Structure 1
Amino acid sequence: MTIIIIILSGYLFLYIRQEHFFFNPKVLEKDYIYTFDQPFEEITIPVEKDVALNALLFKRKNIPSKGVILYFHGNAGAIHEWGMRAPLYTENGFDILFVDYRGYGKSDGFYKKESELYHDAQKVYDYVKTRYVEKNIIVLGFSLGTGFASYVASKNNPKLLILEAPYYAWNKFITSIAPVPTILINYEIPSYKFLAEVTCPIYIYHGTNDFLIKPEENSKRLEALYPNKIKHVMIKGAGHNDIYVTKQYYNEIKQLLNRY
C-alpha cells in the first residue's frame, strides 16, 4: 500500500509541476546585455497583454540576405546561448531570428496550457512577416521547438520547414522515456498531425546516436506517414545536442540553404 501511495503521489506531483519538468529555461535579468561576434538586433514581440517575448535577429554582414530563418529552440537554456549558432546560417545566405519562449531568458510569463504555445508561435511568425516577404521565410525547429515549427508551417506558407531531432508527438515522447500514463501529460503537441497540413518542402535531420528522441520512434515514423513530403537525413554519429557541430550537418545545411 505504501508503494502505491508513493507512486500516486509522484504522479500527482508530476501532473502539477509538469511545465517545470518539460521546460527547462535559463532566466536572464531584464537588463542582461547580449554579446556576439556578429551584428544583431534585440527585439521585443508582444504576444498578449503584459506578455512579450524577447528575440534576437542576426543579419548578414554588408550583404542582402535571401530571407530569414525563424528558429524555435530546444527546451533548455535561452537565446544568449542558442544565438551562438547564428553564423552557420548567416554565412549561408540567411538572416536568422531566435526567440525565447515564455519564462525563458528575458521573456515574460510562463506557460500554463498548450494553446498558449501555438498562440505565441503564430504571433512570432506574424511579426516576422512584417519584416520579410513570406515566400522568403524558412521555419526551423530543434527538439522541443520542432512541434511549434510544424504548427506554424501548417498554418502559414513559409518557403521551407526544417526539423532537427523532431518528436512524433510530445506526450508520446514523454511516456517513452518515463513510466507516466499519457493521460497525465497536458501537452500533446502532435507534430504528426501538423505535418499533414504543411504544403512547403520538409527536411528532417536526426542523429543516429540520439538516445533521447529516438529516430525510430519519431522522425522515421513521421517520414513513413508522409514519404512524399519529407526528405529525411540521418546524421551519422550525432547524438541529440551535437547535430549542429557535425561536418555532415554543416554540409547538408549549406547545400540546402544554397539551393533555396
Structure 2
Amino acid sequence: MLYFLGILLAGYLVLVGALYAFQRNLLYHPDPTVATPQSFGVPEMTAERLPTSDGFPLLAWWRPPSTPDAPVLLYLHGNAGHLGDRADKVRPYLDAGFGVLLVTYRYNAGTGGAASEEGLLEDGRTALAYLRAQGISDDRIVLYGESLGTGIVSRLATAGRYRAVVLEAPYSSIVDVAASIYWYVPVRYLLKDRYETTAVIRDINAPLLIVHGKQDQVIPVHFAERLFDAAVEPKRLILVDEAHHTNLYDYGMGKMVLDFLSEQAISRQ
C-alpha cells in the first residue's frame, strides 16, 4: 500500500512540476501572423511598428480620429489570434469616427519577445506612449481590453484619468480562473503571471463598462460579477444571456459600447 501511495505521490509531483514549468505555454498562444489591415476589411487603418523600451517592435494598426475632439480607442486583445481576428470588432468604432489603435503583443507577429505579465504591461504602456506622441490626451482615450487584455487595461487605467474603460469578458484574476480549472493543484502558490485585476479595479478613475456572456465557459460569468462588485462608480455591467466567450459582438456589443460612451459624454457636459 505504501509503495502504491508513493507512486501516486511521485506522479502527482511530476504533474505539478510540469504545470509549473509549462504554465506560460498554457496561458499564452503565440501567433506569427503579420496581418495587414487591407486583408481584413479595414483599409483605412495603417500598419505600424511601435518599439518598446526593451527593444520589441510591436505590430499595431492605427487610424487617427476623424475630428480633433473624437475619442480614441486603444484595443488590447486576448491571449490568442492576431490583429485581423479583431477587425470586425473595431469596425463600429471606425464607423463612428473614433481613432483606433489595435496593438498585438511581443510574442506575436514575428516580434521576437517572450510572454510575461510585466512584458505585456510594457506593451500596453508603449501603445499609450504612441497615442500621446500623436497629441492624444488621456481624457480622450478609451482603454479597451478583451479577455486577457482586460487585466492589462485595468492596470494601465490606474495610472491616469481616461475617458472610459471597457472590459470584454474579464476575470477577477488569472489565479482565480486557473484555480477553478486546476483545482487539484496549488496554483495560487505556483503562478508567475497573476493578473490580479480585482486588486486594482477600485483604483480606476474613469467610467467602467463590463460586458460578459452568461454562457462563457472560458471565463465563467461569476468572475466578471466579482470584478464588477469590487469596482467603484460610475460603472455598468451588461450580461448577455446567449453569448459565449468570443461572440459578444454577434449580440450587439459594439452598440452597447457606443451607447455607454455617448451617455458618459453627455453626463460630462
- Which segment drifts farther, 122-131 or 183-192? 122-131
> For structure 1, which segment, 123-132 or 72-81, has the greater mean C-alpha deviation from structure 2 after superposition?
123-132
Separation in structure 2 between the aligned mates of residue 76 and residue 84 of structure 1, nearest angstrom: 16
The answer as to whether partners of 2:36 and 2:47 remain within 8 angstroms in 1 is no
Instruction: Letter of the 2:45 partner, please give it.
Output: F
Q: Deviations over 1:168-208 (max 9, x none)?
A: 01111111122331111111111112212111111100111
- Checking the alignment, whether the CA contact within 8 Å between 1:206 and 1:233 is kept in structure 2 is yes
- Mean CA deviation greater in 231-240 or 1-10: 1-10
Q: Give the distance between the partners of 1:49 and 1:130, measured in 2 at CA.
A: 18
2:149 aligned residue: 145
Which of 118, 121, 124 is the equivalent residue of 1:118? 121
Alpha-carbon distance between aligned partners in 2 of 1:230 and 1:110, rounded to the nearest angstrom = 34
Partner of 1:189: 195
Q: Distance in 2 between matches of 1:175 and 1:8?
A: 17
1:79-129 CA-partner distances (Å, limit 9, x unpaired): 122233221221223121111111112333112x43222222222212111
Which residue is 2:76 aligned to?
Answer: 72
Matched letter for residue 163 of structure 2: K
Q: Distance in 2 between matches of 1:205 and 1:47?
A: 30
> Contact 2:201 / 2:230 at 8 angstroms: preserved in 1?
no
Q: What does residue 41 of structure 1 align with?
A: 46
2:24 aligned with 1:24, yes or no? no
Aligned to 1:105: 109
Matched letter for residue 123 of structure 1: T
Query: Aligned residues, how many?
Result: 253
Output the CA distance in 1 between the equivalents of 2:82 and 2:254. Answer: 22
Task: Quote how far apart the aligned CAs of 1:33 are.
Answer: 4.6
Is the CA contact 2:47–2:62 (under 8 Å) kept in the aligned structure 1?
yes
Moved more, 218-227 or 16-25: 218-227
Which secondary structure state, in structure 1, belongs to the residue aligned with residue 40 of structure 2? Answer: coil
Residue 3 of structure 2 corresponds to which residue in structure 1? none
Q: Is the 8 A contact 1:208 1:235 kept in 2?
A: yes
In 2, distance between residues paired with 1:17 and 1:215? 27
- The gaps in structure 2 that reach 5 residues or longer are 1-5
Shift of 1:59: 4.8
- How many Å separate the matches in 2 of 1:129 and 1:122? 11
- Between the aligned residues of both structures, percent identity stands at 24
2:55 is the counterpart of 1:50: yes
Cα displacement (A) at 1:149: 0.6
Which runs of structure 2 are paired with 1:1-260 in the superposition (5 Å)?
A: 1-28=6-33, 33-34=36-37, 35-38=39-42, 39-59=44-64, 63-64=66-67, 66-111=70-115, 113-131=116-134, 132-179=136-183, 180-181=185-186, 182-216=188-222, 218-226=223-231, 228-247=233-252, 249-259=253-263, 260=265
Q: Which consecutive residues of structure 1, in runs of 5 or more, have no partner in the other structure?
A: none
The normalised TM-score by structure 1 is: 0.89
Using the alignment, how far apart are the partners of 1:75 and 1:83 within structure 2?
16
Q: Report Cα offsets for 1:188-244 as digits up to 9, x if no partner.
A: 11111221211111110011111221121x111122223534211111211111111
- Asked if the contact 1:141–1:147 (Cα under 8 Å) also holds between the matched residues in 2, the reply is yes
**1:110 is paired with a residue of what secondary structure?**
coil
Taking structure 2 as the reference length, what is the TM-score of the superposition? 0.87
Measure the CA separation in 2 of the matches of 1:156 and 1:127.
15
Is the deviation greater in 82-91 or in 160-169?
Answer: 82-91
Separation in structure 2 between the aligned mates of residue 146 and residue 6 of structure 1, nearest angstrom: 35
Q: Distance in 1 between matches of 2:79 and 2:213?
A: 18
Letter in 1 for 2:146: F
